[in-house]
Amino acid sequence: MQNLSFRKMEKADLPAVVRIENDCQSHPWSLMQFLEGFHAGHSGWLATREVDGAELLVGFAIVMSVLDECSLLNICIQPDCQEQGFGWQLLEFVLARAAADNMTRMFLEVRASNKAAIRLYERAGFEQVSVRRDYYPAVVGREDGLVYILSSFSSGSLPDASSPESGR
């Protein structure tokens, strides 16, 4: 598994971020939603890797912090980079940043149909605490949103992504 580099998202990165979002989501965030997040003070992080001397954007994460809690609002890995452990690395980075910022817990919501993301979150120690019925728009009708929480974490608390129990 190739290691990623991480950096703060800048407004100039948004066209590439929106492309990844559009490639991955059935109901993607718009450019305006990303801009509103910037104005609201949300933290955006990019996962990148070097390919032939150039920076390749692999994925991104958006986190909202309030006092000592945070919410993972969006995390996305480019389709041709999925299933390579990059989602795990990005989640590890986001949790390490949250721990460094003295966050005590992290919330997230995920579509009930997003089994790969649910496996990732549960492997990282997130626990489902609620269901939001018909929360997300779907291709046909609506879809439930599952609410997860990681109640206690630190930058070294995640299982090793290369261990057998990590699913890699």
More confident residue, 104 or 157: 104
pLDDT digit string, tens, across residues 32-87: 999 999 999 999 999 999 988 899 999 999 999 999 999 999 999 999 999 999 99
pLDDT exceeds cutoff 90 at 3:
no
More confident residue, 151 or 158: 151
pLDDT exceeds cutoff 60 at 154:
no
3-state SS, residue 41: coil
Average pLDDT (14-33) is 95
Instruction: Please tell me the class of the 5-166 domain.
Output: alpha beta
pLDDT category of residue 163 using cuts at 50, 70 and 90 = very low
Which of the residues are catalytic? 109, 121
CA-to-CA distance for 34 and 22, rounded, in angstroms? 12
| Domain layout of the chain by residue ranges | 5-166
pLDDT exceeds cutoff 90 at 112:
yes
In this predicted structure, what is the pLDDT of residue 166? 34
Q: Looking at this protein, which amino acid is placed at residue 150? A: L
One DSSP character per residue, 68-120 reads TEEEEEEEEE-GGGTTSSHHHHHHHHHHHHHHHTT--EEEEEEETT-HHHHHH
pLDDT exceeds cutoff 60 at 28:
yes
